[in-house]
Amino acid sequence: MKSGAKILIEGLQREGVETIFGYPGGVVLPIYDELYNAPIRHILVRHEQAAAHAADGFARASGRVGVCLATSGPGACNLVTGIATAYMDSVPIVALTGQVPTNLLGNDAFQEADISGITLPITKHSYLVKDTRDLSRVIREAFFVARTGRPGPVLIDLPKDISTNQVEDVPLKDPVFLRGYQPTLKGHTRQIEKALSLLATAERPVIYAGGGIIASNASGELVELAERFMIPVTTTLMGIGCIPCDHPLNLGMLGMHGTEYANFAITECDLLLAIGVRFDDRVTGKVSTFAPHAKIIHIDVDPAEIGKNKPIDVPIVGDARAVLQAMLQKIEKGGGRENWLEKIRMWKKKHPLKYEEDGKLRPQFIIQELSNLLKGEGIIVSEVGQNQMWTAQYYCFRRPRSWLTSGGLGTMGYGFPASMGAHFARPDEVVFDIAGDGSFQMNIQELGTVSHYKIPVKVAILNNMFLGMVRQWQELFYDRRYSFTELPPVDFVKIAAAYGVDGMRVDSPDGVREALKTAIETEGPFVLDFRIEREENVFPMVPAGAAINEMIGGHPR
């Protein structure tokens, strides 16, 4: 006979779980008591939201399922933002929540919240366990659902009596089979042949690659396909790293803050091969003008995404890697697009990313210096806003799973706890969180966590004493009426010191490189407070509702 808590811990071990991010509370005390001597590392965060983001960062950096744990009621509710973040970006996490005993469900008992109901729209699936004998099966199924098909978060809600009940446990040995959940992984042969026929005859093709490439570990196949057919590749924010930044076929990011040449290429292409993307509004701008002359092939493991935002000519439902491998088996080499590639080379030369180099401390310069120091290696995590876009534009990413950011939900406060998770996923890598002063304060209490566990996460705060991206919109579209976007100055170095974390303030470009080197060479965590130009903007920029080739702040075309 075993308690439900012991069954849970043994089930997690069978799934290969080595690290859990969590915060204890009354109804999860049986689980925490079982964790006391378990061979699973538990990281005590300082807020449950950070536990969910840390599990998310672990999953993105490793490709494995991240795990977080919280108590019932407010503890479980504090996971919601992190669960929604993972759901929007298709990140596999399993969230474990405590719940009041089954005989009190629905009675408004102390710290009761219907967390499975609350999270229903933002999980792939959720379980409310009402019989301890179901626990082994539920754990197996939860991990299976989280990591297969289109990855995503799964929630397991555990009433206290489920953790304390003693039952006979017979772990499942057969593979998981869920009759109502059978994701299609292999693409349809005839659809793949149609796609190859279009690729062979297109004169101005473009590959539009997204987070699905990263999730399915298809970066190698993507680059091979691009090179065989000589097709330029543009990536979404979530797809950055799937093709090396300095590859001659890489157009960089497209969309609202994408490169001018990527947006021009999309606008003029005659064939668009979209892989693992969802035609998000920040990418497409005005949908009717997005790739207006192109036939569109869309490869995605989630059939609900195909045709959702843009009509598709050749839909292919399947795992990105499996479909690309099938395509590569059927072709040898393409080419004959020198005029198209020459035009793109001309655009790149004429319309590069640019910023003022006038001796003032510019955030783009800081990102470039960090990229040069790390040679495009390491794991770079960002918060949300201007810091996120500058990093996406100016850091030279060369590998998949080296760029972690909240794309779909745009969650401020994501980066710092996610960087903690990234460290535990890949402890030999340098991990940097690029933050804004507004975003960093959303989860600043996690300085306690990195200090406690000596997690060597480095934080570079691009400090303009504004909610920068909102201020930029107010400058450009609201006549500089900075309504509640200015933040009072904060001494982040002193705050870090109060938690036992080293830090440094930098006010000029001359000190940037040495400060970054000091942070990298410091064994533990380190906080850098860069006092950047306060009204620096992210350009180019596509205004809301405009076509993506109608950018402001770029070069005259």
For the annotated catalytic residues, the residue numbers are 48, 110-111, 160, 469
19-22 β-sheet, strand order: 41-44, 19-22, 66-70, 93-99, 154-159, 125-128
Give, in order, the Cα–Cα distances in Å from 453 to each of 420, 446, 447, 457, 501.
10, 11, 10, 11, 11
Q: Would you say 446 and 499 are in contact if contact means Cβ atoms under 8 Å apart?
A: no
Q: How far apart are CA 495 and CA 485, in angstroms?
A: 22
Annotate 143-170 with b (16+ C-beta within 10 A) or e (fewer).
Answer: bbbbbbbbbbbbbbbbbbbbbbbebebe
Cβ count within 10 A of residue 105: 15
Distance CA 117, CA 77 (A): 11
Instruction: Please report the beta strands in 385-494, taking only residues with DSSP state E, as ranges in sequence order.
Output: 403-404, 431-436, 457-463
Give per-residue burial for 196-223: e unless 16+ CB within 10 Å, then b: bebbeebebbbbbbbbbbbbbebbebbb
Distance CA 261, CA 253 (A): 10
Tokens representing residue 317 in the block: 């439902």
- The DSSP 8-state label assigned to residue 353 in this structure reads -
Q: Cα 323 to chain center, whole Å?
A: 23
Question: Which amino acid does the sequence have at 516?
Answer: L
The DSSP element (H or E) to which 298 belongs, if any, is strand 295-300
Give me 376's structure tokens.
């495009």
Q: Would you tell me how many other CB atoms lie within 10 Å of the CB of residue 358?
A: 8
Using alpha carbons only, give the angle 67, 71, 73 rounded to the nearest 5 degrees.
125
Which sign, positive or negative, has the C-alpha torsion 546, 547, 553, 555?
A: negative
DSSP 385-409: SHHHHHHHHHS---STTSEE---SS
The H or E element that residue 314 is part of is: strand 314-317
Does residue 170 contact residue 104 with C-beta atoms inside 8 Å?
Answer: no
Residues 6+ apart with CB under 8 A from 116: 126, 127, 128, 155, 157
